[in-house]
């Protein structure tokens, strides 16, 4: 196989295949990581969701950024 053909066919070989039955698209604008999970695969409840965001508020960088804007 010529080198030019191998180079031009490389993006097609590396492209992920989506599952059409689950309406997964894999193109330049969406992939499996960006598509929201269907409700039956969502395992987080309100407690997990609240805990995730409240622990993030304890991060020092989350407090420094707004205080920087107040100083401007």
What pLDDT sits at residue 24? 63
pLDDT tens track of the chain, all 72 residues? 688 777 788 777 777 676 666 666 666 677 677 778 888 888 989 999 999 888 888 887 777 877 788 876
d(CA 38, CA 5): 39
d(CA 25, CA 44): 24
Write a three-state SS string for the chain: CCHHHHHHHHHHHHCCCCCHHHCCCCCCCCCCCCCCCCHHHCCCCHHHHHHHHHHHCCCHHHHHHHHHHHHC
């Amino acid at each position: 196989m010529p080198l030019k053909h191998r180079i031009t066919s490389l993006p097609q070989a590396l492209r992920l295949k989506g599952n059409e039955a689950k309406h997964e698209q894999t193109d330049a604008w969406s992939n499996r990581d960006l598509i929201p999970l269907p409700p039956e695969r969502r395992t987080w409840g309100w407690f997990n969701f609240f805990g995730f965001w409240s622990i993030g508020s304890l991060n020092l960088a989350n407090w420094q950024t707004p205080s920087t804007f107040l100083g401007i």
